[in-house]
Homo-oligomer: A and B are copies of this chain.
Amino acid sequence: MTNATAMLTALGDPTRQAIFERLTDGPLAVGQLADVLPISRPAVSQHLKVLKEVGLVTDRQEGTRRLYSVDPDGLAELRAHLDGFWARSLAAFQQHASRESQNDQNN
């Protein structure tokens, strides 16, 4: 399992999607996320741990609070992986289309 696939698995949970999407608007503390989301603060911590392990977010201490931000490098890696999907599927589609036109010529 590559890192990008691990990122996709991490973002598979809707709650983690919501957390990550909030963080794209700027850094947030754990409590701030818990105030907005319909889950408890420990639950938010657990989700943030998963997102951090796959490299999608970063955390830094800010006094007594802990601010989480999206990791641009991680997000870039995920986008690159999706771009790979895109390139290959496009190539496969064009190959299929060319085979189709080949068949049309034969008919």
Interface residues of A, Cβ cutoff 8 Å to B: 1, 5, 8-9, 11-14, 17, 20-21, 23-27, 69-70, 72, 75-76, 78-79, 82-83, 85-86, 88-90, 92-93, 95-96
Contact = CB atoms under 8 A, between A and B. Distances in A.
B11 A96 contact: no
A11 B14 contact: no
Which applies to chain A's interface (DSSP): helix, strand, loop or mixed?
helix
Given A72-B90, A90-B72, A85 B8 contact: no
- The complex is assembled from copies of this chain, and their number is 2
Contacts of A72: 89-90, 93
A13 to B, nearest CB: 7
A12 to B, nearest CB: 2
Contacts of A23: 89
Contacts of A5: 14, 17
